Amino acid sequence: CPPRGPGRAAMCSGGTLSILRSDSYADLSQYRDQHFRGTRYDQERLLRKSCTLYVGNLSFYTTEEQIHELFGKSGDIKKVIMGLDKVKKTACGFCFVEYYARGDAENAMRYINGTRLDDRIIRTDWDAGFKEGRQYGRGRSGGQVRDEYRQDYDAGRGGYGKTVQCQ
Amino acid sequence: MSRRRHSDDSDAGQPHKRRRTSEPSEIEERLESLICRVGEKSNSSLESNLEGLAGVLEADLPNYKSKILRILCTVARLLPEKLTVYTTLVGLLNARNYNFGGEFVEAMIRQLKECLKVNMYNEAVHLVRFLSDLVNCHVIAAPSMVAMFENFVSVTQEEDVPQVRCDWYMFAFLSSLPWVGKELYEKKDAEMDRLLSQTESYLKRRQKIHVPMLQVWTADKPHPQEEYLDCLWSQIQKLKKDRWQERHILRPYLAFDSILCEALQHNLPPFTPPPHTEDSVYPMPRVIFRMFDYTDDPEGPVMPGSHSVERFVIEENLHCIIKSHWKERKTCAAQLLSYPGNNKIPLNYHIVEVIFAELFQLPSPPHIEVMYTTLLIELCKLQPGSLPQVLAQATEMLYMRLDTMNTTCVDRFINWFSHHLSNFQFRWSWEDWSDCLTQDLEKPKPKFVREVLEKCMRLSYHQRIIDIVPASFSVLSPANPVCIYKYGDESNRSLPGYTVALCLTIAIKNKASNDEIFSILKDVPNPNQDDDDDEGFTFNPLKIEVFVQTLLHLAAKSFSHSFSALAKFHEVFKTLAESDEGKLHVLRVVYEVWKNHPQMIAVLVDKMIRTQIVDCAAVANWIFSSELAHDFTRFYIWEILHSTIRKMNKHVLKIHKELEETKARLARQHKRRDSDDDDDDDNRSSDREDGPLEEQIERLQEKVESAQSEQKNLFLVIFQRFIMLLTEHLVRCETGGIDVFTPWYKSCIERLQQIFLQHHQIIQQYMVTLENLLFTAELDHHILAVFQQFCALQA
């Protein structure tokens, strides 16, 4: 594990304690976008200073307004970009939320990630930054990859997975 | 067979170098981990863990003494919830190594002085408490601790110092007594009696004008909202009456009494409190939040009374746990629930009370509001059989007391409750609250339910809210958030501007440019002037109306559509809203179109400020305008105003930061030049180098001054408008002989208080102006009282 720097300067000579530095909800996850153009190093550098979050497991019916209301609780939102089905151009269950300040995004990771929106537990993760094209699902049918192969029935995400539907 | 990795090779090549650089920090990490983890759940008893750790540390002292000192000082400062665990550890170390004990005490005093110098008063209290508990561990001699407290209490005799300074030293003394009162009284009862009597006289003479501003409820029933020092004093008096018997605090050192009493004690060096300086910023006074007493949990263990010292200790420790683990919600919840004494105290009630105490704290909660919502959800997950019921009981109690709850706290209650419900499918027994249906809609209870339902709708959708409440609640249900387009119907064709609106609609749908829009708008007559300027760009309310109505209607589909529209036609907006009246009118039209959708109004106003279509002062004037009088007490209005003020504040900070950074760059440039230059010949070239940066600094300086002036103006406008509005009401009531205290008045005066409290640091800068210009002696005493309470906060 990479050696940490001195951390945020505490004013007293004692500094702080590593158990109090723990911020697991705001740390980078294991996920790395495979479509990222650049080195792993570049990607992680961007993730560490990003103000943008990926939000997943949304219902297809969740609106930008609902997302704005919920994520607005951790700070001022610069932009919400809804994830779209590449073919249908309709919402396909994910979005990006960009804050003006990273601290606000961190608070969203700490307190909004893993709670409910439209009765679904949503998941947030750091994103290296929105680029045109990234608002589209990468599944073969146009939605997200996870909706291609899943076997369960999810009323908020188009019912059965695409491969199941095609059977 | 696995491939040998490159790192293995280098390892073999330079083993010593690698080990040498990683070892010291590894050891330090190990030591820190050992020390921090002592007292956590373990298979062995706490006593044996402490004894083992003391042995390990004693062995490491020759090589790692300074590290161990540093770590112990840090845990004393940052883990106050484990105070007695660490004082015991230090006691054991002192018993084994007298010199180390002395060095530790010296290090603690140095750390205390540093904390006081940099205004870290909350951490300084933990250090003082730690030192006092060291008396119990035979590390510090009781008389020298009493001497330190004598110096603390004598601060109350200082002249021309802020009361909050004396308060802090008093608090540091009193709040240590639950831990060490018994021991100090046994050793030095006469001195302690003197100190306590000096305390009593100080507390009697100190002023408490600030208290009403910080109380969550204005009523004293069922629980009085006591000023924090008053409450603590009552608790200490009761403790003294009980002969200093205190049974709640876990004292591991008692088990080691035979070892510890053999140890030699150290005397604290004489401690002179550092003098008051201009830069000293002391903690704000507080009011103790109480919502439960022993009658609320008749089945379980008895809740310690409000003036019992146990109550103080429990609350302090629970607050400290939240402070330590606020970033890690699962850990925080687990630590709260594993607070010792679980079966002797109704822990769930204490936890819920402490969390609401923080959430409702005035001026602001210690942590971001949303943290408390998520923390409570985590607690419900860990204790599904008991915590949700306590939370429901608390919600019910808070609802019952809405009539006297401070408006700012009601805001937070609304936000918390609606967000909480959205995580539990909005399940609630709304019928239990049907009493509010018979009340005037402006009364606190129905108002609360309306605002909650509106927030619930924002987190879901309109029909959902209609479905979750009983039919009788429809009068409180939020409006369907649809846009109102005045030129929409053929029946409106007689309205002035109707045809232009149609024209505009077609043009915009056909992707017209800004110029085309301008030329269409040229044909709109100005109702204000008979002979229009040739320019046609002076304030023309009808032009604004037609353009803004039409555009917002076309872009009504979503926030993103509306934002795109604002961006695309930014030029048109800027021109139409060039004058102050223009800006105000734009805001009026936005409201007319979107009055059913307050959330949309808020995001549009935000965007328009950020893209400089309107400025902050315009928003302030709009909020106080007569058009908005009907919505004046609605929550969303104040969200918009405070968001506006925050944007202004952030803007000033941002430019200031830019200025400081540029100054720093110039300084670095000078430094580089000074160190490079051996001969001081070419002064002109260095001036040339500095030129652009110096210019930049000058520009930024101007920018900062202009922004600060705009910021001050914003606050002055807001205060002015409040004063006008409130004075009008007071005069009307006086002449009409009616009671001043209507629901509207309570809301309005508390909104004024909220401005002071939420932005107190900035407003402190304007005290002289406010005193001389606005809050003068001629003002009605009701309004002046708010200003005086605010002044009292840092007096």
How far apart are the C-alpha atoms of B514 and B281, rounded to whole Å? 53
Do the chains contact at B77 and A12, CB–CB below 8 Å?
A: yes
Mean pLDDT of B731-757: 94
Helices B142-153 and B177-187: crossing angle in degrees, nearest 10, is 110
AA letter at B395: T
All structural domains of chain A with their residue ranges: 38-128
Give how far B144 is from chain A: nearest CA, Å.
25
AA letter at B67: K
Residues of B in contact with A66 (CB under 8 A): 458-461
| Strand segments (E) across A13-142 | 52-56, 77-84, 91-99, 116-117, 120-121, 123-127
Dihedral of the CA atoms B478, B482, B483, B486 (nearest 10)? -90
Q: In this predicted structure, what is the pLDDT of residue B451?
A: 98
Residue in A closest to B110 by C-alpha: A13
Q: In this predicted structure, what is the pLDDT of residue A9?
A: 35
Q: In this predicted structure, what is the pLDDT of residue B407?
A: 94
pLDDT confidence band for B669 (50 / 70 / 90): confident
Residue in A closest to B377 by C-alpha: A115
DSSP one-letter code for B405: B
How far apart are the C-alpha atoms of B391 and B375, rounded to whole Å? 12
Q: What part of B 331-350 touches A (C-beta under 8 Å)?
A: 331
Question: Using an 8 Å Cβ cutoff, are B203 and B266 in contact?
Answer: no
Give how far B325 is from chain A: nearest CA, Å.
7
Contacts of B408 (CB under 8 A, 6+ apart): B362, B750, B753, B754, B757, B758
Q: In this predicted structure, what is the pLDDT of residue B692?
A: 84
Look over chain B and give the mean of its residue pLDDT values, rounded to a whole number: 92
Q: In this predicted structure, what is the pLDDT of residue A36?
A: 95
Do the chains contact at B371 and A110, CB–CB below 8 Å?
A: yes
Do the chains contact at A22 and B377, CB–CB below 8 Å?
A: no
Q: Which of B232, B349, B352, B220 is nearest to B286 (CA)?
A: B232
Give how far A141 is from chain B: nearest CA, Å.
26
Residues of A in contact with B71 (CB under 8 A): 17
User: Could you tell me the two tokens for B148?
Assistant: 């330190």
Q: Which of B222, B206, B123, B201 is nearest to B167 (CA)?
A: B206
Q: In this predicted structure, what is the pLDDT of residue B5?
A: 44
Residue in A closest to B373 by C-alpha: A111
User: Could you tell me the two tokens for B72?
Assistant: 């112990």
Residues of B in contact with A27 (CB under 8 A): none
Q: In this predicted structure, what is the pLDDT of residue A167?
A: 77
Sign of torsion over alpha carbons B120, B126, B127, B128: positive
ipTM score above 0.95: no
User: Could you tell me the two tokens for A124?
Assistant: 């947030």
pLDDT tens, position by position, B528-587: 765 545 554 578 999 999 999 999 999 999 999 999 999 999 999 999 999 999 999 999
Residue in B closest to A24 by C-alpha: B328
Mean pLDDT of B102-108: 97
Residues of A in contact with B603 (CB under 8 A): 68
Q: Does B677 reach chain A within 8 Å, measured CB to CB?
A: no
DSSP one-letter code for A136: B
AA letter at A36: F
Do the chains contact at B458 and A69, CB–CB below 8 Å?
A: yes
Do the chains contact at B120 and A11, CB–CB below 8 Å?
A: yes
* CA distances (Å), origin A139, targets A123, A126, B472: 19, 21, 47
Report the phi/psi class of residue B44: left, alpha or beta, with left for phi > 0 and alpha for psi in -120 to 50: beta
Cα B587–Cα B591–Cα B592 angle in degrees, nearest 5? 120
Task: Tell me how many residue pairs between chain A and chain B have CB atoms under 8 A apart.
Answer: 115
Residues of A in contact with B329 (CB under 8 A): 25, 110-111
Q: Which of B75, A2, B110 is nearest to B67 (CA)?
A: B75
Q: Does B611 reach chain A within 8 Å, measured CB to CB?
A: no
How far apart are the C-alpha atoms of B472 and B464, rounded to whole Å? 16
pLDDT tens, position by position, B260-314: 999 999 999 999 999 999 999 999 999 999 999 999 988 889 999 999 999 999 9
pLDDT tens, position by position, B432-444: 999 999 999 999 9
Q: Nearest Cβ partner of A12 from B111, B374, B377?
A: B111
Where are the alpha helices (H) located in B137-263, listed in sequence order? 142-153, 163-174, 177-187, 189-205, 211-214, 228-241, 257-260
| C-alpha atoms less than 13 angstroms from C-alpha of B95 in its C-beta half-sphere | 21
Q: Nearest Cβ partner of A107 from B36, B370, B455?
A: B370
Do the chains contact at A115 and B327, CB–CB below 8 Å?
A: no
Do the chains contact at B373 and A111, CB–CB below 8 Å?
A: yes
Cis, bond preceding B363 (omega within 30 deg of 0) = yes
If you count DSSP H runs as helices and E runs as strands, how many of each does chain B have, helices first? 35, 0
Q: Which of B65-79, B662-676, B698-712 has the lowest mean pLDDT?
A: B662-676
Q: In this predicted structure, what is the pLDDT of residue B530?
A: 54
At A159, is the secondary structure helix, strand, or coil?
strand
Task: Kindly tell me if the per-residue pLDDT of B364 is higher than 80.
Answer: yes
Give how far A138 is from chain B: nearest CA, Å.
23
User: Could you tell me the two tokens for A111?
Assistant: 């307190």
Give how far B635 is from chain A: nearest CA, Å.
14
Q: Does B741 reach chain A within 8 Å, measured CB to CB?
A: no
Q: How many CB atoms lie within 10 A of CB B596?
A: 15
| Strand segments (E) across B581-706 | none
Do the chains contact at A25 and B327, CB–CB below 8 Å?
A: yes
Q: How many CB atoms lie within 10 A of CB B12?
A: 9
Fold (CATH) for A38-128: Alpha-Beta Plaits (3.30.70)
DSSP per-residue string spanning B272-321 = PPPPP-TT--PPPP-B------GGG-SSSSPPPPTTSHHHHHHHHHHHHH
pLDDT tens, position by position, B681-731: 555 566 666 788 889 999 999 999 999 999 999 999 999 999 999 999 999
User: Could you tell me the two tokens for B422?
Assistant: 């959205």
Residues of A in contact with B654 (CB under 8 A): none
Place of tokens 């608390």: B394
Do the chains contact at B79 and A22, CB–CB below 8 Å?
A: no
Q: What share of chain B is helix, strand, coil (3-state, %, to 5)?
A: 70, 0, 30
Do the chains contact at A73 and B415, CB–CB below 8 Å?
A: yes
Q: Nearest Cβ partner of B374 from A24, A81, A111?
A: A111
Q: Does B418 reach chain A within 8 Å, measured CB to CB?
A: no
AA letter at B777: A
User: Could you tell me the two tokens for B764?
Assistant: 């402190």
Q: Which of B385, B441, B453, B381 is nearest to B417 (CA)?
A: B453
Do the chains contact at A111 and B370, CB–CB below 8 Å?
A: yes
Best A69, A70, A97, A109 residue to mutate vs chain B (most B CBs within 10 Å): A69
Helices B683-736 and B616-623: crossing angle in degrees, nearest 10, is 0
Q: In this predicted structure, what is the pLDDT of residue B9?
A: 41
Q: Which of B411, B487, B506 is nearest to B455 (CA)?
A: B411
Do the chains contact at A111 and B371, CB–CB below 8 Å?
A: yes
Do the chains contact at A66 and B460, CB–CB below 8 Å?
A: yes
pLDDT confidence band for A14 (50 / 70 / 90): low
Dihedral of the CA atoms B405, B371, A57, B607 (nearest 10)? 70
Q: Nearest Cβ partner of B324 from A20, A26, A74?
A: A20
Place of tokens 């010292």: B309
Do the chains contact at A65 and B458, CB–CB below 8 Å?
A: yes
Q: Which of A32, A24, A117, B327 is nearest to A97 (CA)?
A: A117
At B526, is the secondary structure helix, strand, or coil?
coil
- Counting residues of chain B whose pLDDT is more than 70, the rounded percentage is 94
Q: Which of A96-110, A146-160, B535-549, B581-595 has the lowest mean pLDDT?
A: B535-549
Mean pLDDT of B6-30: 57
Do the chains contact at A16 and B74, CB–CB below 8 Å?
A: yes
Residues of A in contact with B33 (CB under 8 A): 18-19
Residues of B in contact with A121 (CB under 8 A): none
Do the chains contact at A17 and B120, CB–CB below 8 Å?
A: no
Residues of B in contact with A26 (CB under 8 A): 327
Q: What part of B 554-583 touches A (C-beta under 8 Å)?
A: 558-560
AA letter at B594: W
Give how far B74 is from chain A: nearest CA, Å.
5
Give how far B463 is from chain A: nearest CA, Å.
13
Q: Which of B644, B653, B654 is nearest to B713 (CA)?
A: B644
Q: Nearest Cβ partner of B32 from A17, A74, A82?
A: A17
Domains, chain B, with CATH or none: 25-260 (1.25.40.180), 307-476 (1.25.40.180), 644-671+693-792 (1.25.40.180)
Task: Kindly tell me if the per-residue pLDDT of A63 is higher than 50.
Answer: yes
Question: Using an 8 Å Cβ cutoff, are B536 and B524 in contact?
Answer: no
Task: Kindly tell me if the per-residue pLDDT of A105 is higher than 90.
Answer: yes
User: Could you tell me the two tokens for B191?
Assistant: 């001195």
Do the chains contact at A74 and B115, CB–CB below 8 Å?
A: no
* CA distances (Å), origin B334, targets A110, A164, B315, B353, B382: 16, 42, 16, 17, 8
How far apart are the C-alpha atoms of B129 and B173, rounded to whole Å? 8
Q: Does B368 reach chain A within 8 Å, measured CB to CB?
A: yes
Give how far B690 is from chain A: nearest CA, Å.
31
Question: Using an 8 Å Cβ cutoff, are B428 and B421 in contact?
Answer: yes
Give how far B86 is from chain A: nearest CA, Å.
15
Q: Which of B583-587, B670-674, B755-759 has the lowest mean pLDDT?
A: B670-674
Do the chains contact at B419 and A73, CB–CB below 8 Å?
A: yes
Q: Does B639 reach chain A within 8 Å, measured CB to CB?
A: no
- Three-state SS string over B209-230 comes to CCHHHHCCECCCCCCCCCEHHH
Residues of B in contact with A24 (CB under 8 A): 328
AA letter at B410: V
Cα B326–Cα B328–Cα B332 angle in degrees, nearest 5? 65
Helices B635-676 and B743-758: crossing angle in degrees, nearest 10, is 10
